[in-house]
Each structure stands twice: as C-alpha cells, then as structure tokens.
Amino acid sequence: MVSTASKQKLYGTRIDLAEDVRVPTIELLNQTLAATLDLKTQTKQAHWNVKGMDFYQLHEMFDEMATELEEYTDMVAERVTALGGVAMGTARIAAESSILPEYALDAVIGAEHVTALADRFGAYAKHLREAIDRTDELGDADTADLYTEISRTVDKRLWFLEAHLVK
C-alpha cells in the first residue's frame, strides 16, 4: 500500500498516543479500510450473481456478510479520524490499495462464489490477526481491540463459507 498517513496532515487530538504510534496505526487502518471495502464489494458481486440450487440461501448469506463488512468500514474509518488521520475510503483508493485479488467475474454457481469468498475471507482474516499483533506492539490497545472484534466475526463467516465446501 502507498504510505498515505505519513504524507497527510495529522489533525490534533487529545488521545494520548504519540504521533509515532498514530502514524503507523493510521496507515494500517487505511490499508484495512481498503481491503474491507474491496471485500464488501466482492461479497456483493457474489450476492448479485450467484446461481444454482443453493441460490436463495447463498444470496441471503452473502448479503448479511456484506452488511457486516459495511459496518466494519465505518468502524475502521472512524478510528482513523479519531487518531487524527484522514480515512482513505474512496472506491479508487480501495481498488489500488487492497491486499485482496480481483474477483473472478465468471463465477456463477454457488460453489465457485463460496470458494472465491473463502479465499478472500481467509486472506482478510490473516491481515486482521497481523494488525492485532502490530497495533498491540505499537501500544494501541483500543485499535487492537477493534481488530479483535472484527476478526471474531470474520473467522465465523469464514467457517460458514468453508462449511459449504465440505463434500
């Protein structure tokens, strides 16, 4: 990801975290924001385009997952701004900065979408755990806690996806 936080103005805050903690935390949060926005739109792609015998069940599950991800974009972006940064949350920034691969537009049947989303949720979950460790090392327990909260639900959703793939 392009280092955006170090190139942007930090706004004043009474949060008692030093700038050398806030800057890398903001950079990490903005990377997470990009990945979360990307994952949300990829999940909606699956929601809109799934077909097959499990259509309705998957259509509904994908929509619930996208709704949860929308909530996380807000939580992450608001943490960026609380730390005095600028949330980098446009679609163009997300596309450029996301850690996730592009979604296969030729996915049609449920298993194709479930597999694609499981791969992406797995990569996203790994990113979240790394972010928990990094923000903990930086001494920002609140951001580490935010990542932990998101991680719990993402792991649950990954479990739901993987359960569909058992033969």
Regarding the domain delimited by 17-165, which CATH topology (the fold level of the hierarchy) does it fall under?
Answer: Ferritin (1.20.1260)
Mean pLDDT of the chain: 94
Domain limits, the chain? 17-165
- 167 pLDDT tier (thresholds 50, 70, 90): confident
Q: Output the DSSP codes for 88-105.
A: ---HHHHHHH-SSPPP-T
* Contact call for residues 37 and 90 (beta carbons, < 8 A): no
| Predicted model pTM | 0.94
